[in-house]
Amino acid sequence: MLKPAAIVGQVILYGAFAAVIGTFATWPKYQQIPSDVALIKLSISHLGERECRKRTPEELAKMPPNMRAPLDCPRERSDIRLEMDLDGEPIFRTVLHPTGLYKDGVSTVYKRFEVAAGSHRLTVRMDDNLDKPGFDYVKDEQITLAPAQVMVVDFNPDRGGLFFK
Amino acid sequence: MSFHTALRNGASSVFLRIEEALDVPFGGTDNPLRHLGAIGLYLLWIIVGTGLYLYAVLDTGIDAVYQSIGYLSLEQWYLGGVLRSLHRYAADGFMLVMMLHLFREWCYGRYHGFRLYSWMTGIPLIWLAYAAGIGGYWIVWDQLAQLSAIATAELLDWLPIFSEPSARNFMSPDSISDRFFTMLVFIHIGVPLLLILGLWAHVHRISHVDYLPSRRAMVATLAILIGLALLKPALSNPPANLATVPGALDFDWFLLFLHPLTDVSSPALVWSLLFGVTALLFALPLLPHPRPQPAAVVDPANCTGCDRCLADCPYAAIAMTQHSSRPGFRLAVVDADLCAGCGICAGSCPSSTPFRRREALVTGIDMPQQPVNALREQLEAALARLEGRTRIIIFACTRGAEAGPLAAVDTAVIGLICAGMLPPAFVEYALRGGADGVLVATCRSGGCEFRLGDLWTSQRLLGQREPHLRRTVPPSRLQLLAASAHDDRTLAEVLAEFRTRLEALPVASDRLPPYLRSASHHA
Ligand code: HEM
Ligand code: SF4
Ligand code: SF4
């Protein structure tokens, strides 16, 4: 039989074990981002352009009939240049490289920015063909961010290129 | 002494002190620190059992699941809510116990030689346990799940695994599908299954595995977890909403501490830490450490194939084959890679009895570093030397309390690799050879370096295990003591009491008839 002192000791120690578990299973609370801050997530996945050359009629004539594609396209995709400004200040500049062994895959970026809630001017520029000068896509808009809001900057050619949501 | 050795020695002496302090209220059998692996397994069974219930009743679907878990906690609190809380708290406890177990094995230097396999197979279990636990929090699909899922994806994206950032899967509420949820459940069942498989491998090379803690420890553990579940039920945070950032959340620091750590440092640092610590754990056995003890050696001529060594070896190092020279008989064989060199087998072999008349005692299975024959010679020399009113022989494990200083004209001390290597017949042999009493000192219960030495010794001497001490040996002349390296004082006190008791016995009341193997041999 256990002595009373041993029972008391065991109860205290088992209790301490439970208390440690019960406490640190929920406490202290954790808040990742202050409550007056919003998040802008830049998340784009896009195939860069490639420079195709029109084949001349002579070239085409030399090819077997079933392979006479009018355009000669390389596999390799262009890098993508991306810029993001907040309230006129540059906050992000990058050049994305295509994935894949032959550089024929999509280029992707995922990045988040903590921004004070409120009204901001957000400008995003994207150039998906570095052989041609200038940005092919620009989105420049006054946005209002609620506290804790997550706003996504994405790209979809079917939705007119860059968009905020 | 290297920095690591100094650190380990410091840590082990602190840990051992705490472990021994817990012996006071718990005793060795119930002491949780002495059975951390078993408590871990027990908690795992609680997790599996409660998990099966949750799996059976939860609506699987990304919207439905939050509601149905909430229903368990709020409406069906007395059953589903308690089981949910048990599932969570047992998981937290499992992490705590696993880390303590890891720390303890490291402290005591149990990561090389015959333990290499247990150590190496233990390390991947940590990753599996965290993967299972973190995944579990996602299933609730509350804001904590959202935070953890995104933070984990961002952390994984730092590694060159995915061609597209996996965090892109969590951009907006409509990007999460029921399929994602099905995958989650699949992972949260699959990873624990892998963990169980890994655990099976982890204990594969030891025998008589401590699969479950004592009944009392199990009841108490379950009781406090249920108490915790009732006092402080596990609840969800507000539902996930990928369009907003979670606010201040109730946070599980046992399972999810990596997220805050990443936030205050960086993915690069966290991965370096995780891979660094893992590599260190794997590399630990490469550090210089004591030479392995010589392995047990079988002598076919003296092995009858009785299986006792097979039954008693703590490290599954013994197997039986056909006897080479005796048809129809079996023969023990030792796998030297697994052998701890503890001598427990020599203590179990019926051929180890000192009463055999042969000049040299050759037993079935023996230790090159302390053969049974040498033990008998040591004992016979001591018996011939001892004088005084009460002559006592002490057989003591050299890892336990320091018995050497107790040697005197009337007291002889014979140190053993492990108390388990003492063939019980040696006690009778000592008494019939002139000793008035025999004291056998093992380590504390549950504190044997070789896991089972203290248990087998006491069971053999109390007649509960083969080979047993013959019942004709008067119990009054045998003193068993479980004493650790910190218990020198206790050993001295118990010896003094034992002597007083022996002196109080009526003269020759219970003496065994003297036995002299061959008077000529030590005349
Ligand atoms: C996932 C949780 C774990 C559980 C449930 C567990 C369970 C166990 C059990 C039941 C034993 C047998 C104890 C005995 O019968 O004496 C054991 C032994 C052992 N474990 Fe674990 N283990 C876990 C993780 C680990 C980890 C992470 C390590 C270290 C990397 C580790 C290292 C060892 C060693 C070295 C032994 C051998 C002890 C000896 O030979 O005396 N274990 N474990
Ligand atoms: S010495 Fe110990 S580990 Fe080796 S075979 Fe004998 S009982 Fe097993
Ligand atoms: S205990 Fe001795 S006799 Fe029995 S199998 Fe082992 S070595 Fe052989």
- What is the CB neighbour count within 10 angstroms for residue A139? 17
Q: How far is the alpha carbon of A112 from chain B, nearest alpha carbon, in Å?
A: 10
Ligand nearest to the CA of B280: 1
Task: With a cut of 90, say whether residue A72 has pLDDT above it.
Answer: no
Amino acid B387: pLDDT: 92
Indicate the domain borders of chain A: 1-30, 37-50+77-164
Which residues lie below 8 Å from residue B327, measured CB to CB, with a gap of 6+? none
Tens of pLDDT, residues B435-445: 999 999 999 99
Strands B411-416, B392-397: pairing kind: parallel
Token look-up 């005796």 returns: B326
**pLDDT tier for residue B59 given thresholds of 50, 70 and 90:** confident
Task: With a cut of 60, say whether residue B521 has pLDDT above it.
Answer: no
Amino acid B181: pLDDT: 84
The secondary structure of residue B59, as a DSSP letter, is: P
Average pLDDT rounded to a whole number, residues B267-293: 95
Average pLDDT rounded to a whole number, residues B323-340: 92
The answer to whether residue A4 neighbours chain B at the CB level (below 8 Å) is no
Residue of chain B whose Cα is closest to the Cα of A108: B164
Task: With a cut of 60, say whether residue B522 has pLDDT above it.
Answer: no
Alpha carbon of residue A162 to chain centroid: 13
The pair of structure tokens assigned to B357 is: 């008349």
The angle at the Cα of B90, spanning B87 to B94, to the nearest 5 degrees, equals 135
The answer to whether residue A39 neighbours chain B at the CB level (below 8 Å) is yes
Q: How far is the alpha carbon of A70 from chain B, nearest alpha carbon, in Å?
A: 32
- What is the CB neighbour count within 10 angstroms for residue B6? 10
Tens of pLDDT, residues B435-488: 999 999 999 999 999 999 999 999 999 999 999 999 999 999 999 999 999 999
Q: How far apart are the C-alpha atoms of B287 and B289, rounded to whole Å? A: 6
- What is the CB neighbour count within 10 angstroms for residue B136? 24
Average pLDDT rounded to a whole number, residues A40-64: 87
Amino acid A125: pLDDT: 94
Task: With a cut of 80, say whether residue B509 has pLDDT above it.
Answer: no
**pLDDT tier for residue B508 given thresholds of 50, 70 and 90:** low
Higher pLDDT: B152 or B512? It is: B152
Rg (CA), chain A: 28
Rg (CA), chain B: 29
- List beta partners, residue A39: A114, A150
Task: With a cut of 50, say whether residue B520 has pLDDT above it.
Answer: no
Residue B415: helix, strand or coil by DSSP?
Answer: strand
Which of B465, B471, B476, B459 minimizes the C-alpha distance to B510?
B476
Q: Which CATH class is domain A37-50+77-164?
A: mainly beta
Query: How remote is the CA of residue B513 from the centroid of ligand 1, in Å?
Result: 48
Task: With a cut of 90, say whether residue A157 has pLDDT above it.
Answer: no
DSSP structure string for A82-106: EEEEETTEEEEEEEE---STTS-S-
Task: With a cut of 60, say whether residue B516 has pLDDT above it.
Answer: yes
Residue of chain A whose Cα is closest to the Cα of B224: A18
Q: DSSP strand E in B374-464: where?
A: 392-397, 411-416, 437-442
Tens of pLDDT, residues B228-245: 999 999 999 999 999 999
Amino acid B518: pLDDT: 62
Residue B160: helix, strand or coil by DSSP?
Answer: coil
Strand order in the sheet with A137-145: A89-96, A80-86, A118-127, A137-145
Residue of chain A whose Cα is closest to the Cα of B24: A6
The answer to whether residue A94 neighbours chain B at the CB level (below 8 Å) is no
Q: DSSP strand E in B277-433: where?
A: 297-298, 318-322, 330-334, 365-366, 392-397, 411-416
Quote the mean pLDDT of chain B.
93
Q: Tell me, using a 6 A CB cutoff, whether residue B421 lines ligand 2.
A: no
Average pLDDT rounded to a whole number, residues A36-52: 89
Task: With a cut of 90, say whether residue A48 has pLDDT above it.
Answer: no
Token look-up 């055999």 returns: B356
How far, in Å, are A133, A158, B142 from residue A129 at the CA level?
Answer: 8, 18, 42
Superfamily of domain B3-240+249-286: Cytochrome Bc1 Complex; Chain C (1.20.810.10)
The answer to whether residue A29 neighbours chain B at the CB level (below 8 Å) is yes
Average pLDDT rounded to a whole number, residues B118-147: 96
This prediction's pTM: 0.93
Interface contact B247-A20, CB threshold 8 A: no
Q: Work out the percent of chain B whose per-residue pLDDT is above 90.
A: 84
Q: How many CB pairs under 8 A join A and B?
A: 122
Query: How remote is the CA of residue B83 from the centroid of ligand 3, in Å?
Result: 49
Amino acid B173: pLDDT: 80
Cβ contacts of B167 on chain A, cutoff 8 Å: 43, 110
Q: How far apart are the C-alpha atoms of B153 and B384, rounded to whole Å? A: 76
Q: Tell me, using a 6 A CB cutoff, whether residue B332 lines ligand 2.
A: no
The pair of structure tokens assigned to B299 is: 């002598």
Which of B126, B51, B128, B59 minimizes the C-alpha distance to B85?
B51
DSSP structure string for B417-441: SSGGG--THHHHHHHHTT-SEEEEE
Interface contact A30-B248, CB threshold 8 A: yes
From A9-18, B12-21, B284-293, the region with the lowest mean pLDDT: B284-293
Task: With a cut of 90, say whether residue B108 has pLDDT above it.
Answer: yes
Range list for CATH 1.20.810.10 in chain B: 3-240+249-286
Residue of chain A whose Cα is closest to the Cα of B96: A21
Q: Whose CA is nearest to atom 6 of ligand 2?
A: B345
Q: Whose CA is nearest to atom 1 of ligand 3?
A: B349
DSSP H or E stretch at residue A33:
none
User: Ligand 2 pocket test: which of B206, B299, B315, B455 has the largest number of ligand atoms within 8 Å of its C-beta?
Assistant: B315
The secondary structure of residue A79, as a DSSP letter, is: P
Average pLDDT rounded to a whole number, residues B416-421: 97
Question: Among the ranges A62-66, B72-76, B94-98, which has the highest mean pLDDT value?
Answer: B94-98
Tens of pLDDT, residues B365-417: 999 999 999 999 999 999 999 999 999 999 999 999 999 999 999 999 999 99
Average pLDDT rounded to a whole number, residues B274-297: 94
Q: How far apart are the C-alpha atoms of B331 and B297, rounded to whole Å? A: 12
A87 burial type by CB count under 10 A (0-12 exposed, 13-18 middle, 19+ buried) = exposed
Q: How far apart are the C-alpha atoms of B51 and B47, rounded to whole Å? A: 6
Amino acid B310: pLDDT: 97
Token look-up 């996945």 returns: A45
Q: How far apart are the C-alpha atoms of B247 and B245, rounded to whole Å? A: 6
Task: With a cut of 50, say whether residue B523 has pLDDT above it.
Answer: no
Cβ contacts of B223 on chain A, cutoff 8 Å: 14
Interface contact A25-B254, CB threshold 8 A: yes
Average pLDDT rounded to a whole number, residues A52-67: 86
Task: With a cut of 60, say whether residue B419 has pLDDT above it.
Answer: yes
Strands B392-397, B437-442: pairing kind: parallel
From A79-88, B58-67, B262-271, B297-306, the region with the lowest mean pLDDT: B58-67
Amino acid B439: pLDDT: 98
Q: How far is the alpha carbon of B34 from chain A, nearest alpha carbon, in Å?
A: 15
Q: Is the dihedral of CA B378, B379, B380, B382 positive or negative?
A: positive
Helix (H), strand (E), coil (C) string for B258-297 = HHHHHHHCCHHHHHHHHHHHHHHHHHHHHCCCCCCCCCCE
Q: Tell me, using a 6 A CB cutoff, whether residue B113 lines ligand 2.
A: no
